[in-house]
Amino acid sequence: MESGMLSRTQQALIRESWRRVSGSPVQHGVVLFSRLFDLDPDLLPLFQYNCKRFASPQECLAAPEFLDHIRKVMLVIDAAVSHLEDLPCLEEYLCNLGKKHQAVGVKVESFSTVGESLLYMLEKCLGAAFSPDVREAWIELYSAVVKAMQRGWEVLPEGD
């Protein structure tokens, strides 16, 4: 994860826009994941709690365990926004998080669809304030987070 890749202006745009989202993380996380399941319904079976599969995205989006996952996702984004000036300090955590997702069957390519869904959610929440500059800043931040998580897929099982 490169240090100083986000300009001061981009950092400010991210902090300002995240303030509008982070006040109600679950509500916005539901928008993100509803979009994700619309774009790729095959991700639904990856969420199983007590070996039980959800029959529909609606059922999944209402389950307490899944709402906990939404909280976890929003906390990771929150951590990234809180460390914009020192993203490398999250590198090891994110690499391990990538490994955990590999273990539950997530394909690294699916993180592009998550990125699209994140931008969709930000646009819905911010409306006209979601300017091209804000969008670009978020793309840069999300790419840095995914790049660090991707390393979890690159680590050989023997290296664990």
Does residue 112 interact with ligand HEM by CB under 6 A? no
- Token pair, residue 143, equals 């790419």
Residue 47 binds ligand HEM (CB under 6 A) = yes
Instruction: Tell me the closest approach of the beta carbon of residue 60 to ligand HEM, in angstroms.
Output: 10
Q: Which of 18, 29, 101, 134 binds ligand HEM (CB under 6 A)?
A: 101
If one counts every other C-beta atom within 10 angstroms of the C-beta of residue 81, the result is 18
Alpha carbons 139 and 89: distance in angstroms, whole number: 20
Interface pick for ligand HEM out of 73, 79, 119, 126 (rule CB under 6 A): 73
Does residue 110 bind ligand HEM (CB under 6 A)? yes
Euclidean distance between CA atoms 36 and 117, whole angstroms:
6
Stretch of 3-11, 83-91, 95-103, 150-158 contacting ligand HEM, by CB under 6 A = 95-103
Chain contacts with ligand HEM (rule: CB under 6 A): 43, 46-47, 65, 69, 72-73, 76, 97, 100-101, 104, 106, 110, 114
